[in-house]
Amino acid sequence: MANPNSVIPGLSEVETGVRNAPALADALSSVLSDTYRLMIKTHSYHWNVEGPLFHAIHTMTEEQYQDLFEATDELAERIRALGHLAPGRIDEITGGSVVGDTVDNATAVRMAADLAADHERLAQRLHALIRMAEAQNDPVTADMATARSAAHEKSAWMLRATAK
């Protein structure tokens, strides 16, 4: 995802102590892609949910897509702090994501279950990023990934509990 040619001149690994910043920026770009797609999907379900769970899911998804939007900015800024450009084209921002498209004509329960599964996938991807960041002497990215993973795990739990 991150273009190795997109390194910002003048920022080196020696200055921060982070090793293999290009690989970290690439991993962060993948998480950014997942987060952005999940934000869009969550917003779409927010608009289209119907039935007895309408209010609960409508309210929950609004909180979640707002959190996801803020997270995309944090992720992009971390990529920049590592000396790389954040993805800029739509295909770069959304490509390579593990988050699938919305389910057509889904019930409220199906929407909640679908979003829960995506949050779980993203939490797994963040767990891998945590391990990678720790191995590359990047506690800032590891801390960010830990906080984001906790947010996704909580969202998955709340959605699963609502879908029962």
The residue segments making up the domain with residue 141 are 20-163
Do 2 and 22 meet the contact criterion of CB atoms below 8 Å apart? yes
Do 78 and 30 meet the contact criterion of CB atoms below 8 Å apart? no
124 lies in some domain: yes
- Cβ-proximal residues to 20 (8 Å cutoff; 6+ apart), any chain: 13, 136
At residue 14, the pLDDT reads 42
148 lies in some domain: yes
pTM as predicted: 0.89
8 lies in some domain: no
- Which tens digit of pLDDT belongs to each residue from 30-61? 999 999 999 999 999 999 999 999 999 999 99
At residue 7, the pLDDT reads 52
Number of structural domains (the chain) is: 1
CATH number of the domain at 91, please. 1.20.1260.10
Do 35 and 72 meet the contact criterion of CB atoms below 8 Å apart? yes
At residue 4, the pLDDT reads 45
At residue 38, the pLDDT reads 98
Cα 13 from Cα 30, distance rounded (Å): 21
- Which tens digit of pLDDT belongs to each residue from 64-123? 999 999 999 999 999 999 999 999 999 989 888 999 999 999 999 999 999 999 999 999
- Which tens digit of pLDDT belongs to each residue from 5-31? 455 555 544 477 899 999 999 999 999
Number of other residues whose CB lies within 10 A of the CB of residue 161: 11
15 lies in some domain: no
67 lies in some domain: yes
- Cβ-proximal residues to 163 (8 Å cutoff; 6+ apart), any chain: 109, 112, 113, 116
Q: How far is CA 122 from the centre of its chain?
A: 6
